[in-house]
Amino acid sequence: MTSPLDLAPVVPVVVLDDVEAAVPLARALVAGGLPAVEVTLRTEAALGAIERIAAEVEGARVGAGTVLTPEQAKAAAAAGATFLVTPGTTESLVGALQETGLDFLPGTSTVSEVLRLRELGIREMKFFPAEAAGGAPFLKSLASPVPDVRFCPTGGITPESAPSYLALPNVACVGGSWMLPGASVAARDWGQIEALARAASRLRDKTAGGTPA
Ligand SMILES: O=C(O)C(=O)C[C@H](O)[C@H](O)COP(=O)(O)O
């Protein structure tokens, strides 16, 4: 199966309070060109939302974010998540991610964490919290000594800063929540969310020397 990192330049990070909003919200993201959808396990509604999106939204590739424990990794897999994202990494968490057999993106923010995961054969990671932990200059510095690890930086990224990440050879895509403004979600303004998703899906076109999506 294609890595969730290769489906679009941006993985939307979704925080949902209402299971009923999950399907129309995910449909808007898919229609806007963002098929990989990360639903964070920060709310009571999250597992139900993953279940509904997996069952009902054609073209979506739903994943779970904010996976903090082995139990959450199992629960997300059982709900139908097809990839798992963690903000940081512990040994037991990596073991649980591997056991699910799903794609996963373990969180890293230091070179040593990257190397530890690389020793386990892992080549795709989240860089979190991207802006606070060094931003695009950090990943640019890593590309020469560690050229075979690809990242999805997430945390504080905006439509303005995304192109500087997407231009790097070791960045596959970025994660972010800017296409899901709280007011638009609250107003169920799926048209606005689809438009913001569409703009995000075209961001790679703007990177210097990047390949048009
Ligand atoms: O909870 C997690 O595992 C996360 O991935 C946190 C995310 O990085 C942010 O929720 C992204 O949101 P923004 O920083 O608003 O773009």
Tens of pLDDT, residue by residue over 96-134, are 999 999 999 999 999 999 999 999 999 999 999 999 999
The arithmetic mean of pLDDT across residues 128-153, rounded, is: 98
Ligand 1: residues with CB < 6 A are: 13, 40, 65-66, 85, 87, 128, 154-157, 175-177
Return the pLDDT at 204.
82
Strand segments (E) across the chain: 10-14, 36-40, 61-65, 83-85, 103-105, 107-108, 124-127, 150-153, 174-176
Residue-level pLDDT at 133: 98
If you take atom 8 of ligand 1, which residue's CA is the nearest one? 155
Q: What is the pTM of this model?
A: 0.95
Q: Please list the residues that pair with 73 across neighbouring strands.
A: none
pLDDT above 70 as % of the chain: 96
Mean pLDDT of 1-11: 93
For residue 176, report the distance from its CA to the centre of ligand 1, in Å.
6
Of 130, 133, 137, 179, nearest to 156 (Cα)?
130
Residue nearest to atom 15 of ligand 1 (CA): 177
DSSP secondary structure letter of residue 179: T
CA 123 to centroid of ligand 1, rounded, Å:
21
Cα dihedral 152, 183, 76, 69 in deg (nearest 10): 70
Check pLDDT > 60 for residue 150.
Answer: yes
Task: Read off the pLDDT of each residue in 7-32 and give the average, rounded to a whole number.
Answer: 97
The CA distance from 137 to 50, in Å, is: 34
d(CA 61, CA 38): 9
- For ligand 1, atom 3, which residue shows the shortest CA distance? 66
Do residues 37 and 15 make contact, with C-beta atoms less than 8 angstroms apart?
no
How many whole angstroms from 13 Cα to the centroid of ligand 1?
6
Q: What residues act catalytically?
A: 38, 126
What DSSP string runs through 133-176? Answer: TTHHHHHHHHHTTSTT-EEEEBSS--TTTHHHHHTSTTB--EEE
Q: Which of 93, 78, 175, 79 is nearest to 126 (CA)?
A: 175
Is pLDDT above 50 for 68? yes
pLDDT for position 208? 52
174-176 and 150-153 beta bridge pairing: unpaired
Contact between 184 and 19 under an 8 Å Cβ cutoff? The reply is no
pLDDT at 210 over 90: no
**Residue 207: what pLDDT?**
65
